[in-house]
Every structure is written in C-alpha cells, then in structure tokens.
Amino acid sequence: MILQAQSISCRYGGFTAVDNVSLSLQAGEILGIAGTNGAGKSTLFAAIAGQQQPSAGTITFDGKNITRLAPFERAQRGLVRTFQVPREFKSLTVHENLMAAAPNTEGEQLFAALVNTAARRRREAAITYKADAILKFLNLAAVRNVPAVNLSGGQKKLVELGRVLMLDPRCILLDEPFAGVNPVLIQEICSHVRVLNGQGIAFILIEHHLQALKSLAGRLIVMDRGLILAEGSPEQVLDDPRVQVAYMGGIA
C-alpha cells in the first residue's frame, strides 16, 4: 500500500465537502475518481496533496503519516500533483519550466555554488539532460524553447506532467488531465500514463472524460455529494444504476 486516506472529512462552516471518505492505492495502481461538479473530488485531491487540511482523518504515504505535511514535503517523498487549470510559468520557455521544477540539493546552496563552480556546472548539466529526456518522452522537444504561454491547452497539461516528472515521483495525482484537450492529445496523454505506470508510478486521476478514465483505471470510485457512491472495476461502477442516476441518464 503506497497511499491511504482514512476517514477524511473536509468542512467549511456548516457545509461538508468531503464526508468520512476512505481510499487506498497500491503501488503501481491506477485509480480513477469520477463524479459530477460539487461531488467533492477536487477537495479530496487537495487534502491528499496538502493544499487543504482535512477537518478529520489521516493520510498515510509509504507507511508514514503525512496529514500535516506541506505540499512540498509530500513532493519530496514522491507524492505530487497536477492541476485542472495548468499553472505554467508563462514567461519561461518549456525547457525552463522543467528546469525550474528540479528539486533543490546541497549543491544548490548559495555558498556551495560560489565556491564549487565545477560541481554547479555538473549539476546544471544533469538537470538539463533530464529535462530534455522528459521533453522527448512527452513529444515536446519541438517546443523546447517556446514560451509556455504560447502552448495549446493540451501541451500545457503535458508541461505540468513534465514538471512533476522532474521530481522522480512514486505517485502522481492528475486533476482532470483531459479537460480542454483535443482527442489526439487525450490519447497521447493516456499513452504516457500507461508507460509511466509500467515503470512503477502509481496514479490517481480525477476526470469527467469517463471513456478515457475507463480505458486507464483498473479501479474506479464515483463520488456524490461528498460521499463514495460506488467503487470497483470501471465496468461494474459505470453499470451501477445509482451512478447512472447521479449522472442524469446514463454514462456508458
């Protein structure tokens, strides 16, 4: 078990966005989370990633309680996320966006950088090589030196994925990776996720594009009004009458 969220609740005054939800993720698994707007998916994601402190419950990653850790501390442990609306550094090039995401090391300390120029250059060369390898993998090499603000929506989603890959993640939380993306890039993103999953990276995906989610996830959770409505294989869940009612008329 790489990730476990136990009895998570998130309350805002008298409103409960997530109500006593538990989920677990095995190492190397792809889990999908679906639900209509307001179901609590994004709030649950934020609690797992650290942007939202839960009102109750615990989150464990790789056997350690991370409930109170900041997002960057979770990222250092290998738990990272993307966002529904990409948060690229608009004025930086695609390559610079990935370079900026590289983790700090002792060699990045100011004193070390000043007194050990050779070590700094080796570090920069290694980061540059890694960023270029990720860009090649994501089919972004052709836009390496293009300012990120000029990219399409789908390309920006790929840049977000590239930035979290710079952190050598063990688990990636993808927040609606197909929203606003054309069908060709949806298939490309799916392909990248499958390759990365084959390398041992676990994924949780929030997504409204249910057919794409069905093709990726081995297990699916559907939320409704802060609760888990159904859980199981994608086929079982999408055939559940309660899920079809929640989606107002069928989602097969």
* Extents of the domains making up the chain: 1-23+41-67
The pLDDT, as a whole number, for residue 179 is: 87
Residue 37, pLDDT > 70, answer: yes
The CA distance from 249 to 79, in Å, is 36
Q: How confident is the model at residue 107 (pLDDT cuts 50, 70, 90)?
A: very low
Q: Minimum mean pLDDT among 106-115, 134-143, 203-212: which range?
A: 106-115
The CA distance from 2 to 127, in Å, is 27
Q: Helix, strand, coil: what percent of the chain each, to 5? A: 40, 25, 35
**pTM above the 0.85 mark?**
yes
Average pLDDT, the chain: 91
pLDDT top residue among 147 and 85: 147
Per DSSP, the residues of 33-87 read EE--TTSSHHHHHHHHHTSS--SEEEEEETTEE-TT--HHHHHHTTEEE--SS--
Q: What is the mean pLDDT of residues 151-171?
A: 95
Residue range 225-252, pLDDT digits in tens: 999 999 999 999 989 998 888 875 544 3
The CA distance from 20 to 151, in Å, is 40
Residue range 115-157, pLDDT digits in tens: 567 777 888 899 999 999 999 999 999 999 999 999 999 999 9
The pLDDT, as a whole number, for residue 106 is: 46
The pLDDT, as a whole number, for residue 115 is: 57
Beta strands (DSSP E) in the chain are 3-12, 15-25, 30-34, 56-61, 64-65, 79-81, 171-175, 202-206, 219-224, 227-232
